[in-house]
Chain A
């Protein structure tokens, strides 16, 4: 029972993602209890010999989503993707797409297409032939094939390159050919394996937006695998954070970032200061934690279902902290320390403050005024403070 409660979003959630400015046809089917999931992954486990790559994963993905599987290398995200494509068979569990059990269906009969990390373009075929390949397998009339290939190339703006061979294209163009090739079959589900990993940094950002735009145009459900949190945050409707074959948290980018459910997710996405402490007071609207590490009492303004005396962590994002030379009025959420390092990054600065206990706190402060003289400098004794709603209580 207690576990179940932990997997739910925090009980008294302040205005969360709902406050996000809505896109034109912004929908959140996962909020709707009547919505039918489009892709259902039910208790799927995949083992390779003694190694458990994917461990009892259950996941629902809805029509039209751009869903990201995020995690480090070896976390099982690619294996999960390959099971959706049909290249790996689950050791246990079932995968349903649009209500149809995929267990017995080989990759070539699945209504699913994949964009490979290496793109896997056929080197002996032209761009056109590569894109047409999938349609030819369906034995469509030549006219239809030609028309749909032209449309797909139009969509990715490669019509002028139809007659080229893959080795005559740039990295970004190859990526778009791979996208066109997998989209042209109008699959129910498009899988993208690290779609941007092979591109250089500048192109990557531009392509992120292009991919999202194309996805909105064609309306196909995308499932993407990535190790890059920025990519997942900026593109995905929802993210599943994976580690060692498990899903550690599923949620919108904002939920994942603002309300991590465990230390792993808090540490994996963005940067975070974590203080361990004992729950001393547990009220419906707030929790008080005595932290020896921080040498302070921490006040978190949301309730958590943990009895007093439990050891928990409080996670606070660096940008939600402030730095001051004077002690604040409220002694909660205030720690004192010495500035060890300052990194001036133009729009903001990062301060590393060492507490008397030896812990270092990372504070990110926007540089709102032009700095001629630093308000805070090395070796200064400072106070680091944050608001009651900035911290998150983590029990796992």
Chain B
């Protein structure tokens, strides 16, 4: 899972802006307008004009390439595995020119329930994602707090330093940990050299390595929403608390912390949801006995070529994530509302 793209940087870039066409490019405006006039004629013929086009084009794109695929996954999760191309049986079949047969096969789902491997993988994924989220919070909250309380002149630079690694490749950053955590890796060599340990520690291929990988990769998703929340918090609230006799630590617990909960929620969901379905980190850093559902799905699909089971795994995973995803949407929507 690689989401190094960072909205807050984009927003920052977006907030400072030149409000007019550069000199010498004004002719471009005319060219664009001319082109638009031509397009408009064509589009009017097609019944797609103006506002409706602006909504419909992205709407249909997303419907076709985001929504419909889920329906197909659902459909294929009821199919049977087959040795053809594509490797599954069709769900609908014209038995006769006029009769349509529908074959629904629940076998993939009963299979998921019967084989403890899947249930264990789901539970383990949830556990790993939850623990990683808490770890991210424990590291990320103090960072976000420190940046938000830093001198305003330093804040952009400090924030940039959090974002910077995440514009570099996700894969490469996970890869960096392989070299560190290997049994003959840099960490073990260093500890052996120090004499702290006599035997190399086995860290890679364990759950610990997965935690390190996830926390490392997702930390900014925690820090950025928290920072955005803490930074815009009214400082006079803390002064009021102090004025009313509240010591700094209590003021943090009774004022800052409750008010930052929306940021905590947003950050936690941004880490938790993708981490549940993570594939690359358990694949590269974890061991064969560290089951995670993203990896199971990948193996079902690429190694076993069992598309229907892979689809069933995906649908089940979605069911697990429906509540967190809706929570995230609700939080996003509320944030947008407050903004406007």
Indicate whether A and B interact: yes
Q: B255 interface residue, CB < 8 Å from A?
A: yes
Pick the contact of A122 from B237, B243, B248, B250 — CB < 8 Å? Answer: B237
B245 near A185: Cβ-Cβ < 8 Å: yes
B239 near A133: Cβ-Cβ < 8 Å: no
A113 near B236: Cβ-Cβ < 8 Å: no
Q: B240 interface residue, CB < 8 Å from A?
A: yes
Stretch binding the partner chain, chosen from A69-77, A102-110, A221-229: A102-110
B239 near A109: Cβ-Cβ < 8 Å: no
The B248-265 residues at the A interface (CB cut-off 8 A) are: 248, 250-251, 254-255, 258-259
Chain B residue numbers with a CB within 8 Å of A122 are 237, 240-241, 255, 259
Chain A residue numbers with a CB within 8 Å of B120 are none
Instruction: Please measure, in the bound complex, the distance between the C-alpha atom of A185 and the C-alpha atom of B242, giving whole angstroms.
Output: 13
Instruction: Please measure, in the bound complex, the distance between the C-alpha atom of A87 and the C-alpha atom of B239, giving whole angstroms.
Output: 7
The B203-255 residues at the A interface (CB cut-off 8 A) are: 234, 236-237, 239-248, 250-251, 254-255
Chain A residue numbers with a CB within 8 Å of B239 are 85, 87, 107, 114, 116, 120
Q: Closest residue to A124 on the B side, CB-wise?
A: B258
For chain B, the count of residues having a C-beta within 8 Å of the partner chain is 19
Q: A112 interface residue, CB < 8 Å from B?
A: yes
Chain A residue numbers with a CB within 8 Å of B241 are 108, 122, 133
A2 nearest CB across to chain B (Å): 43
Q: A372 interface residue, CB < 8 Å from B?
A: no
Chain A residue numbers with a CB within 8 Å of B243 are 85-86, 107-108, 110, 112-114, 182
A181 near B236: Cβ-Cβ < 8 Å: no
Instruction: Please measure, in the bound complex, the distance between the C-alpha atom of A108 and the C-alpha atom of B239, giving whole angstroms.
Output: 9
Chain B residue numbers with a CB within 8 Å of A181 are 240, 244
Instruction: Please measure, in the bound complex, the distance between the C-alpha atom of A137 and the C-alpha atom of B249, giving whole angstroms.
Output: 12
Interface size class of A (residues with CB under 8 A): 20 to 34
Instruction: Please measure, in the bound complex, the distance between the C-alpha atom of A120 and the C-alpha atom of B259, giving whole angstroms.
Output: 13
Q: Closest residue to A129 on the B side, CB-wise?
A: B254
Instruction: Please measure, in the bound complex, the distance between the C-alpha atom of A117 and the C-alpha atom of B258, giving whole angstroms.
Output: 23
Q: Closest residue to B254 on the A side, CB-wise?
A: A133
Chain A residue numbers with a CB within 8 Å of B246 are 108, 133-134, 137
Chain A residue numbers with a CB within 8 Å of B242 are 86-87, 106-108
Chain B CB count within 10 A is highest, among A106, A118, A120, for A120
Chain B residue numbers with a CB within 8 Å of A134 are 244-246
Known: A87-B239, A107-B239, A124-B259. A137 touches B244 (CB 8 A): yes
Instruction: Please measure, in the bound complex, the distance between the C-alpha atom of A86 and the C-alpha atom of B248, giving whole angstroms.
Output: 14
Interface residues of A (CB under 8 A from B): 85-87, 106-110, 112-114, 116-118, 120-124, 133-134, 137-138, 181-182, 185
Can you list 8 A-B contacts (CB < 8 A)? Answer: A87-B239, A108-B241, A109-B245, A112-B243, A120-B236, A122-B237, A134-B246, A138-B245
